[in-house]
């Protein structure tokens, strides 16, 4: 397998987490900014070795401003605690789409949000990135999801594992 960037990430790097949160909360690059009540990001940076990435947030998360404040989120936290023994403070969670998209998304919106994720990744510096679902994995520029699903491979200075999304697991 050849794990090479298929495109160059052209984005402005931010200096700190608060600056990134401010940029996300004031973003108007796509139509999803109109449905945003809260930016779908962790409230603070965590010193976590594990970063879990999913596609989009739920309505209850947009309403409350609290990540994983949904049935799906509670299920994920339960699995992480039961299987890995990690509580909320032990992992960092992120979405590709930083605004509520009501389950509908497009490539233009994705390309608008991806620079925010790449900045987030550089600030968090996890040892391990868990990609939930095929769309999440492919959105980062990788291919062969069905072959690599469940496999761990090194990329830049961390490891990546594509996995099933939570809808499949339930």
Beta-bridge mates of residue 158: 155
Q: How confident is the model at residue 8 (pLDDT cuts 50, 70, 90)?
A: very low
Q: Which pLDDT score, from 0 to 100, does residue 6 have?
A: 52
Sheet strands side by side (includes 153-155):
91-95, 50-54, 128-132, 158-163, 153-155
Query: Above 60 in pLDDT, residue 148?
Result: yes
Range 11-30 average pLDDT: 90
CATH of 17-169, one of 3.30.70.2860, 3.40.640.10, 2.40.30.170, 3.40.470.10: 3.40.470.10
Looking at residue 168, its pLDDT comes to: 74
For residue range 56-106, what is the model confidence (pLDDT) as tens digits? Answer: 999 999 999 999 999 999 999 999 999 999 999 999 999 999 999 988 888
pLDDT at residue 112 in the model:
94
Predicted local distance difference test score (pLDDT) of residue 11 = 57
Domain boundaries, the chain: 17-169
Predicted local distance difference test score (pLDDT) of residue 167 = 80
What's the whole-number mean pLDDT along residues 17-25?
Answer: 95
Mean pLDDT score across all residues of the chain: 91
Instruction: Flag whether pLDDT at 4 surpasses 70.
Output: no
Model pTM score: 0.90
* 167 exposure class (CB count in 10 Å sphere: 0-12, 13-18, 19+): exposed
């Amino acid at each position: 397998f050849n794990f090479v960037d298929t495109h160059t990430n052209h984005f402005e790097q931010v200096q700190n987490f608060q600056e990134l949160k401010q940029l996300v909360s004031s973003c108007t690059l796509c139509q999803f900014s109109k449905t945003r009540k809260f930016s779908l990001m962790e409230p603070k940076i965590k010193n976590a070795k594990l970063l879990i990435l999913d596609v989009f947030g739920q309505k209850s998360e947009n309403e409350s401003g609290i990540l994983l404040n949904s049935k799906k989120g509670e299920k994920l936290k339960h699995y992480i605690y039961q299987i890995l023994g990690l509580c909320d403070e032990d992992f960092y969670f992120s979405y590709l789409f930083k605004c509520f998209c009501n389950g509908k998304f497009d490539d233009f919106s994705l390309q608008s949000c991806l620079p925010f994720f790449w900045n987030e990744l550089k600030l968090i510096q996890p040892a391990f990135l868990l990609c939930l679902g095929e769309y999440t994995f492919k959105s980062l520029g990788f291919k062969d999801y069905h072959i690599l699903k469940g496999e761990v491979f090194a990329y830049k200075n961390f490891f990546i594992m594509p996995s099933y999304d939570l809808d499949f697991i339930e």
